[in-house]
Amino acid sequence: MDPERAKKLLTAQLAELDEREQRVRRDQGQPPEQQGMLSQHPADYGSDLTDEMERELMRKKISWERQQINGALRRIATGTYGRCRVDGKPIDDERLEAQPTAELCLRHQLEAERSGVR
């Protein structure tokens, strides 16, 4: 995988993450002046809580993905990108194209999944 190509893919993913994060922020909660009204409707309160939990999960997922992408960008900078973290062998272009943050070759990815460790 050409590092420039990888960088482009990763940067595009970062931009997408930013967009998703903004969407989560926009959906966030009611303006403070409506909170008093909301508390008079206990039935609605439950669904608000679920939404809040969903957003929390989304935020965690986004920040985790951001870490993965930043890690991959660091590996590009240090010249270790596209090589398996276990055996140092090049990772298939096809695999990197589908998942630019991959840091294990297919063999070791499968092994890691089997043993339940990432």
For Zn ion, the binding residues (CB under 5 A) are 84, 86-87, 105, 108
Alpha carbons 98 and 105: distance in angstroms, whole number: 13
CB 116 within 8 A of CB 108: no
Alpha carbons 27 and 94: distance in angstroms, whole number: 36
| Shortest Cβ 91–Zn ion spacing (Å) | 8
Nearest residue to 2 (alpha-carbon basis) of 70, 100, 69: 100
Choice between 14 and 84, CB closer to Zn ion: 84
Choice between 15 and 98, CB closer to Zn ion: 98
Choice between 96 and 105, CB closer to Zn ion: 105
| Shortest Cβ 104–Zn ion spacing (Å) | 6
Element (H, E) at 70: helix 42-78
| Shortest Cβ 83–Zn ion spacing (Å) | 9
| Shortest Cβ 106–Zn ion spacing (Å) | 8
